[in-house]
Amino acid sequence: MKSRHKRMVFIVVGLAALAGAVGLIMNALNSNINHFFSPTEVHADAAPKDRSFRLGGLVEVDSVKREDDGLTVHFRVTDNAEVVPVIYTGILPDLFREGEGVVAQGKITSDGVFLADEVLAKHDETYMPPEVADALEKAELAKAEAAAGTTEAVEIPATQSPVKTQEGI
């Protein structure tokens, strides 16, 4: 075999190995991605049923109930349009409170209850994760549209925004 042919075979084999490695890396990364969903999206069946995802919103006021074991907590997450019941077994973050922002990671059951593996709370009184802020804003717009009885976009003035975002810091 000529040296030119050997070089071409080496290049083709190298490119095939590189393509295979990139494919395996992309597959591994894709399977480890946790997507974020709001309660409205969960009720619209946009959330996956068979894999873990993140649920974000506000902890509904007067919804936190603790079981006798001291670790299992039942609460509801809302985006001011829809509500998803959550069950979490573990120690909650110190900043977990009713009416405050929360992101929970876990899976949804067939009866619509979110089984959380991890619960994250906001880190101070003015910050809210951007995904939660966007979901709450969309829910407020949808609620305003439904109240107005129209499908046209309804604009909420910035002074009436129910969501504190990082820009306000």
Provide the number of structural domains found in the chain. 2
Residues 6, 74, single domain; the answer is no
In the three-class reduction of DSSP (H, G, I as helix; E, B as strand; rest coil), residue 79 is classed as coil
Stronger pLDDT, 19 or 144, i.e. the higher one: 19
Residues 56, 98, single domain; the answer is yes
Mean pLDDT of the chain: 81
Residues 64, 75, single domain; the answer is yes
CA distance 23 to 155: 44
Residues 159, 88, single domain; the answer is yes
* CATH number, domain with residue 130: 2.40.50.140
CA distance 169 to 167: 6
CA distance 134 to 37: 11
Task: Please state whether beta strands 72-78 and 101-108 pair in parallel, antiparallel, or not at all (unpaired).
Answer: unpaired
Residues 62, 3, single domain; the answer is no
pLDDT at 168 over 70: no
**Per-residue pLDDT tens over the stretch 71-108:** 999 999 998 889 999 999 999 988 888 888 899 999 99
Say what percent of the chain tops pLDDT 90: 34
Stronger pLDDT, 123 or 75, i.e. the higher one: 75
Residues 112, 143, single domain; the answer is yes
Model pTM score: 0.62
The domain containing residue 89 runs over which residues? 36-168
